[in-house]
Amino acid sequence: MSELHKFIFDGLPVRGALVRLTDTWQELLQRRSASGQGSGYPQPVVHMLGQMTAAATLLRSSIKFDGSLILQVAGDGPVPVAVAEVDAQLRLRAMATLSAPIEEDTTLVQLVNAAGRGRCAITLDPRGLGPGRKAWQGVVPLADASGQPLTSVAQMITGYMRQSEQLETALVLAADTRAACGLMVQRMPGQQGSDADAHTRLGTLAQSLGAQELLELDAATILRRLFWDEPLQLLDIARPAFHCTCDRQRVAAMLQGLGEAEVMAILREQERVEVNCEFCGAQQRFDAVDVAALFSAGQPQVASPAAIQ
């Protein structure tokens, strides 16, 4: 079962979290395979998207905020978009779009930053929390201060946290088709501890964790092996789960945004309009009657499948 363990170090200005997404991550990949979009993601994309999903879950768990955290990479290579979204209850979804075939040995730089124009954005989205709430977004390039391209998702996130949040973060991420995992150790914002070197020492310990260990060992074993000589104190355990926020209303609004002429053209060609959610594979169908209702005068009425029955 997927789990996220939060921990602190007694008397030290450092906090941490360890996430293991297992069933959640497998469901996410299976939905992709089952949605008719090929046989799923190629290995390099599984690695990148899994690490992004683990990182987004860690970051979401570390901030006090009611909405969703969205980690997005806008790439200039064969993966134009990769997104991981985690809400306040640690319900998550993720997807990547592919614009060209991807070889097994493709690197992260080749995937999303081939021409040096890739960007990483983190958005705090208060959507659904009432009117007047604005999303906050920070964007950084996928290169370090000297212009060298970043070669791992962990480097992207730690670079982002340093530039945008002034938070020193140590991060280890790993993903395959069975699990997406991450370990984060972070200096606590605004706190001066008695042990000035604590963050550096604990960060170095965290970074000594290998990708295979992170993927294969349980949380208790990992934390004991790394921090056996440190005053680690486990806090709560949370259970991240897959959840998609797509619904018929949102697809209807998208079709209305497309315009009547465009939607009628699709309808003439295909008899019905079908839209697949790229996150969960759910399909929304609109036949001629549904489309007519969408563009009828007055307030658009969108019947949900449950309401039709």
Residue type, 118: G
Place of tokens 């993966």: 79
- 166, exposed or middle or buried, with CB in 10 Å at 0-12, 13-18, 19+? exposed
- 107, exposed or middle or buried, with CB in 10 Å at 0-12, 13-18, 19+? middle
For the CB of residue 242, give the shortest distance to Zn ion in the complex, in Å: 10
Sole window of 4-12, 46-54, 133-141, 241-249 interacting with Zn ion (rule: CB under 5 A): 241-249
Contact between 279 and Zn ion per CB under 5 A: yes
Sole window of 4-12, 157-165, 244-252, 288-296 interacting with Zn ion (rule: CB under 5 A): 244-252
Contact between 114 and Zn ion per CB under 5 A: no
Contact between 246 and Zn ion per CB under 5 A: yes
How many residues touch Zn ion under the rule CB under 5 A: the total is 6
For the CB of residue 136, give the shortest distance to Zn ion in the complex, in Å: 24
Judged by beta carbon, residue 81 or residue 217, the one nearer Zn ion is 81
What sign does the dihedral 62-64-66-68 (CA atoms) show? negative
* Selected binder of Zn ion within 214, 244, 255, 291 (CB under 5 A): 244
* Selected binder of Zn ion within 280, 291, 294, 302 (CB under 5 A): 280
Contact between 277 and Zn ion per CB under 5 A: yes
Report the C-alpha gap between 250 and 254 in whole angstroms: 6
Closest CA to 230 of 195, 259, 257, 265: 195
Report the C-alpha gap between 56 and 216 in whole angstroms: 20
For the CB of residue 248, give the shortest distance to Zn ion in the complex, in Å: 11
Residues of the shown chain interacting with Zn ion in the complex, contacts defined by CB under 5 A: 244, 246, 277, 279-280, 282
